[in-house]
Amino acid sequence: MTGDTLLSVEGIGKSYPGVRANDDVSFRIGAGEVHALLGENGAGKSTLVKMIYGLVKPDVGRMMLRGKAYAPAEPRAARSSGVAMVFQHFSLFEALNVAENVALGMDNPPPMRELSGRIREVSEGYGLPLDPARLVGDLSAGERQRVEIVRCLLQSPKLFIMDEPTSVLTPQEVEILFRTLRQLAAEGTSILYISHKLEEIRALCDAATILRRGKVVGSLVPKDVSAREMAEMMVGATLNAPARAAGKQGPVALRVTGLSVPSPSAFGTSLKDVGFEVRQGEVLGIGGVAGNGQDELLAALSGEIRTGRDVVQVHGRGIGDVGPNERRRDGICTAPEERLGHAAAPDMSLMENALLSGSVRKHLTKKGFIDWHGTRAFAEEVVKTFDVRTPGIGTAARALSGGNLQKFVLGREILQEPEIIIVNQPTWGVDAAAAAFIRQRLLDRAAAGAAVVVISQDIDEIMEIADRFAALNEGRLSEPVPTQGLTIDQIGLMLGGAHGMHEAEAHHAGA
Amino acid sequence: MEIFGINIAVLIASLMVASVPIMLAAIGELVVEKAGVLNLGVEGMMIMGAICGFITAVHTGSPMVGFLGGAAGAMALSLVFILLTQVFLANQVATGLALTLFGLGLSSLLGQGYNGIKPPRLGDVPFGPLENIPFFGRVLFTHDIMVYASIAIVAAVWAVLKYSRAGLILRAVGESHDAAHALGYKVVRIRILAILFGAAMAGLGGAYVSLVRVPQWTDGITAGAGWIALAIVVFASWKPWRVLIGAYLFGGITVLQLNLQAAGARIPVEYLSMSPYLITILVLVIMSSGRGRASLNAPAALGQNFHASR
């Protein structure tokens, strides 16, 4: 796709205390071009798009939009210049309805009734049907993203920025999204696309700019290179795919039968008759779009939600009625998805956070007193082994970037050497190199005889490390199937809940 | 029409008057909480409004200027809350409690020498012949301007929150300040304006106590009305019209117990005096036990401080 330059960024730089987020970044996007922005966590992609969207002001450098100087003081100015953005973490309000959410993202919204009509019209025109009167809290992740996209489309943007749009979508939803984006590009809208998923970028994008540590390290045409080459340019090193030891599976370590619990939160999903078993040395991957009961399943396994004694069994012994610390003693460690506030206490230091989860298995308390010496050693081990980038273990968890905190949380659980480890979204927001490392450590745990349950939305991740795959959909778990020979289409159907569910139910009824 | 020797028309008319202070304070606090701020300093702001309104009215001789003075006094006190919670990001619960204690003390200091003085009287709105309609004339058309103003304010708050863009933005800020910030709304500025509005309403309510309800100045004159206003916001599950119902309910109980005392009911006075507060506790317990609806309607970002990071 050729054409005139729409946006050119020239020598832009931005520093934060102690960090050079962007350093002399230059690139250009043509009209109607789908342009990818690639880079690891902390490479400066988010800062860069925030500058384009007017949320952050650059220290040096300039931007040109359609040949004119462009320096938005705030998002409103960016929007009026024709720049729209869909955020990585949705900027939606759960207690408001779709039309109200759309209105909030517009500068001069028409009256509500007219707006509802236009939402219907535009959303159907792009194959993204939406009901304007529904509460956003009741929508699925895919539908929520539609709200964001429709909100942008209503302002007929010239440049459309998407920050990690596919991380919460099923393969089928990704297909729909890509069709919409191609349609937009064909109509002359430029798209700036940020993603970790390199295969998607190869399928969608016309050009790519690669950032590393705040600098542009290359630009390329994604269709001409392999995903592996792109990843290596991003990281600046050779990547090794996780190695899987030949599976030696032992007896069943974790068995869950007939697990039905109501969700503790108003917008959550209740679990309905979930059952599975995991053997020693086995990795079970549980796929599904977020909000289908993942958080509840993890809570039921970690002990935050208590159930009947025999619903959750470890080595044939019922533990469903005991809390997290007793379960840790029995060898179960868990890492929830929400890093701040669930997996880690935001305002406490890494050392204190290490103690909170590790005190039982690492014997960090003695007669009611804290063994700070041991705690320090444990926290330092986690930071060192998992390459957590932090000034020190006295730093508050809140101060770490998402990817770094994720490494810390995963490291803390894995280094407790659990016999059963359950993780939810283990590599969410983590860059390629760190993700590969985390997956490798999970596989190592399995090789050492632990039962591993990986709950993830990332199908590639599950295919890479899991032995068996099950889909969680609206609180129901499908029958686990071996990952070998499973195609992406079959997985998509399982995630959509169209297939496997009835068989699974029949199985449980018979069991 | 009389029951137990209590005239029903008079009872309704006086409960409408009795509920004005808590209705004003509660509708103000509702707006503050809809913006995601929990200001527990309502009692302190009310009593500051009471004394500042009293002083202004006595010196100017005009009750209407007195109400403006009351609103201004409460807004001045709320600046402390704004500075601490919106600028220095202090804990809202602790700051609100401190605000109440500070307001009680400061009002007592300011009120030295004003004990026993009569403020200028606020007259009823003249409705002419309408006042002579049987029953309804007494109930609806024998009040001062603030009774009607308080109902108009409830209606205005309802309309603004439901239909206007400003109301939508306010609700959005209280729902998720991060998302609102990402869309380019000035979270802190909107919250400051909401807090000031809440303070002005609490101040008006306080001034109504010292200028109309009582009318004189004594220390601690608001006697917990601010706390009842806070309870009414929860009782109303953050819906403006229910604030009106809640205020009438509590105002009604207050008036009823006074009337029962006067009528010589055979219940000890202490039980009657504590009844509005007991009912408040009871209502809060009932509302909180039905977790589903009531908690669902609470603004999601209520009581959380916002700091724009990067």
State the pLDDT at residue A503: 42
Tell me the C-alpha to C-alpha distance, in Å, between residue A208 and each of A41, A457, B161. 17, 25, 45
Tell me the C-alpha to C-alpha distance, in Å, between residue B131 and each of B2, B14, B142. 20, 15, 6
Please, is A333 exposed, middle or buried when counting C-beta atoms within 10 Å of its C-beta (0-12, 13-18, 19+)?
buried
What are B159-204's pLDDT values in tens digits? 999 999 999 999 999 998 988 988 888 999 999 999 999 999 999 9
State the pLDDT at residue B295: 55
On whether residue B114 sits in a domain, the answer given is yes
Q: Which of B169, B183, B185, B310 is the best mutation test for A, with the most CBs of A within 10 A? A: B183
Give the span between the Cα atoms of A117 and A485, in whole angstroms: 46
Give the span between the Cα atoms of A389 and A368, in whole angstroms: 32
- Average pLDDT (B226-250) is 91
The answer to whether A287 and A459 are in contact (CB under 8 A) is yes
The token duo for A304 is 């935050």
On whether residue A408 sits in a domain, the answer given is no
Hey, is the C-beta of B176 within 8 angstroms of any chain A C-beta?
A: yes
On whether residue B106 sits in a domain, the answer given is yes
On whether residue A372 sits in a domain, the answer given is no
On whether residue B128 sits in a domain, the answer given is yes
Is A70 found in the same domain as A118? yes
Give the span between the Cα atoms of B124 and B147, in whole angstroms: 10
Is A430 found in the same domain as A322? yes
> Which chain B residue lies closest to A110 (C-alpha atoms)?
B165
What are A79-130's pLDDT values in tens digits? 888 998 887 666 788 888 999 999 988 878 888 889 999 999 888 888 888 8
Give the span between the Cα atoms of B121 and A236, in whole angstroms: 81
On whether residue B177 sits in a domain, the answer given is yes
> Which chain B residue lies closest to A100 (C-alpha atoms)?
B168
Q: Checking DSSP bridges between strand A451-456 and strand A283-287, what pairing results, if any?
A: parallel
Asked if the model's pLDDT at residue B310 lies above 70, the reply is no
- State the residue for tokens 């206003």: B229
On whether residue B61 sits in a domain, the answer given is yes
What are B211-228's pLDDT values in tens digits? 998 899 999 999 889 999
Burial track B197-220 (b if 16+ CB lie within 10 A, e otherwise): bbbbbbbbbbbbbbbbbbbebeee
CA terminus-to-terminus distance, chain A: 57
Residue in A56, A87, A93 closest to B310 by CB: A56
Instruction: Kindly state the helix (H) or strand (E) to which residue A505 belongs, with its residue range.
Output: helix A501-510
What is the ipTM metric for this complex?
0.81
> Which chain B residue lies closest to A85 (C-alpha atoms)?
B183
* Report field, pTM of the whole predicted structure over 0.90: no
> Which chain A residue lies closest to B300 (C-alpha atoms)?
A95
Of residues B110, B86, B94, the one with CA closest to residue B210? B110
Residues 6+ apart with CB under 8 A from B18: B213, B251, B252, B254, B255
On whether residue A354 sits in a domain, the answer given is no
Give the span between the Cα atoms of A84 and A122, in whole angstroms: 16
Domain that holds residue B147: 2-296
C-beta atoms surrounding A367 within 10 Å: 4
Chain centroid to CA A325: 27
Our CA-based measurement puts residue B35 at a distance from the nearest CA of chain A, in whole angstroms, of: 13
Our CA-based measurement puts residue A81 at a distance from the nearest CA of chain B, in whole angstroms, of: 15
| Total number of domains in chain A | 2
Q: How many helices (H) and strands (E) does chain B have?
A: 14, 2
Is A257 found in the same domain as A218? no
> Which chain B residue lies closest to A84 (C-alpha atoms)?
B183
Is A290 found in the same domain as A215? no
Give the span between the Cα atoms of A178 and A200, in whole angstroms: 9
The token duo for A216 is 């542009």
Burial track A76-91 (b if 16+ CB lie within 10 A, e otherwise): ebbbebbbbbbbbebb
Per DSSP, the three-state class of A3 is coil
Average pLDDT, chain B: 89
Strand partners, A5: A30
Give the span between the Cα atoms of B105 and A418, in whole angstroms: 58
Residue B178: list chain A partners with CB under 8 A.
Answer: 89, 91
Give the span between the Cα atoms of A472 and A425, in whole angstroms: 14
On whether residue A310 sits in a domain, the answer given is yes
| Total number of domains in chain B | 1
State the pLDDT at residue A461: 84
On whether residue A502 sits in a domain, the answer given is yes
Domain that holds residue A480: 252-339+419-510
The token duo for A497 is 């809940």
Annotate A253-319 with DSSP letters as a single string.
EEEEEEEEE--SSTT---EEEEEEEEETT-EEEEE--TTSSHHHHHHHHHTSS---GGGEEETTEE-
Is A287 found in the same domain as A260? yes
C-beta atoms surrounding A339 within 10 Å: 23
Note the residue count of chain A.
511
Q: What residues of chain A score a pLDDT lower than 50?
A: 1-2, 498-511
Residue A76: list chain B partners with CB under 8 A.
Answer: 184
Q: In which band, very low, low, confident or very high, does the pLDDT at B256 lie, cut at 50, 70 and 90?
A: confident
Q: Provide φ and ψ at A111, rounded to 5°.
A: -55, 150
Last residue of a domain, one of A235, A261, A290: A235
On whether residue B309 sits in a domain, the answer given is no
Is A197 found in the same domain as A312? no
Residue B292: list chain A partners with CB under 8 A.
Answer: 266
Q: Provide φ and ψ at B34, rounded to 5°.
A: -60, -30
Tell me the C-alpha to C-alpha distance, in Å, between residue A479 and each of A274, A275, A469, B84. 10, 8, 8, 55
- Determine, for residues B175 and A74 on separate chains, whether the beta-carbon distance falls below 8 Å: no
CATH of the domain at A297: 3.40.50.300
Residues of A with CB under 8 A from a CB of B: 16, 47, 50, 54-56, 74-76, 79, 87, 89-96, 100, 103-105, 109, 266
Give the span between the Cα atoms of B146 and B177, in whole angstroms: 34
Hey, is the C-beta of B168 within 8 angstroms of any chain A C-beta?
A: yes
Last residue of a domain, one of A235, A265, A290: A235
Provide the edge-to-edge strand list for the sheet that holds A60-65: A19-30, A5-16, A60-65, A68-70
Is A425 found in the same domain as A290? yes
Per DSSP, the three-state class of A123 is helix
Annotate A366-405 with DSSP letters as a single string.
ETTEE-HHHHHHHHHHHHHHTT---S-TTSBGGGS-HHHH
Give the span between the Cα atoms of A467 and A238, in whole angstroms: 26
Residue A100: list chain B partners with CB under 8 A.
Answer: 168, 172
The answer to whether A248 and A468 are in contact (CB under 8 A) is no
C-beta atoms surrounding A71 within 10 Å: 15
Using only C-alpha atoms, chain A has a radius of gyration, in whole angstroms, of 24
Residue in A87, A95, A96 closest to B182 by CB: A87
CATH of the domain at B70: 1.10.3470
State the pLDDT at residue A39: 81
- Determine, for residues B310 and A96 on separate chains, whether the beta-carbon distance falls below 8 Å: no
Is A70 found in the same domain as A159? yes
The answer to whether B117 and B217 are in contact (CB under 8 A) is yes
Per DSSP, the three-state class of B257 is helix
C-beta atoms surrounding A448 within 10 Å: 12
Per DSSP, the three-state class of A88 is coil
The answer to whether A216 and A37 are in contact (CB under 8 A) is no
The token duo for A474 is 């609206």
Our CA-based measurement puts residue B254 at a distance from the nearest CA of chain A, in whole angstroms, of: 35
On whether residue A84 sits in a domain, the answer given is yes
State the pLDDT at residue B309: 59
Residues 6+ apart with CB under 8 A from B99: B39, B40, B41, B44, B45, B77, B78, B80, B81
> Which chain B residue lies closest to A78 (C-alpha atoms)?
B184
State the pLDDT at residue B198: 97
State the pLDDT at residue A3: 57
Provide the residue type at A14 as one letter: K
CA terminus-to-terminus distance, chain B: 67
Give the span between the Cα atoms of A393 and A380, in whole angstroms: 7
What are B10-68's pLDDT values in tens digits? 888 889 999 999 999 999 999 999 999 999 999 999 999 999 999 999 999 999 999 99
